[in-house]
Amino acid sequence: MPRTRPYRQYPDRFVGLMALPMSDRDRTLDELERAAKLAGHSRVIISAATSRARFFRSEFLPVFQRIEALGLPVFLHPNGAVGGKRFDPFYLANILGNRSTPTIAACHLSMAA
């Protein structure tokens, strides 16, 4: 049986997310243009771990302007949650860190605008 792609069979139920290389603005813009043309890719996913990717800097403004022009929603993924080792017990990284990391990233984005 041939392998089917769920987003082609059920385009309203499955969508592809574009993971952008936010360490380099020019590469990010190139990848955004390339991935936006792919079937089923209608959302952007960005790591909210701001300690590694300073995507809230003004140099990335053209990236977010292009995302907006394409009408794509952005999902801030909470990988690399804040808190470090003190969050290890009791799954605090999941309970607290996964909620606060995207919130901190969104605050950085809104303050940089």
**Model confidence pLDDT, tens digit, residues 37-75:** 987 788 998 887 654 557 777 888 899 999 999 999 998
pLDDT of residue 16: 83
Tokens of 91: 């799954």
Of 88, 29, 77, which Cα lies nearest the Cα of 49?
Answer: 77
Q: What is the pLDDT of residues 71-106, one digit of tens each?
A: 999 988 887 667 778 877 888 878 887 888 888 888
Collect all residues with Cβ–Cβ distance below 8 Å to 17 and sequence separation of at least 6: 41, 43, 44, 45, 75
Give the span between the Cα atoms of 21 and 6, in whole angstroms.
Answer: 25
pTM here is 0.75
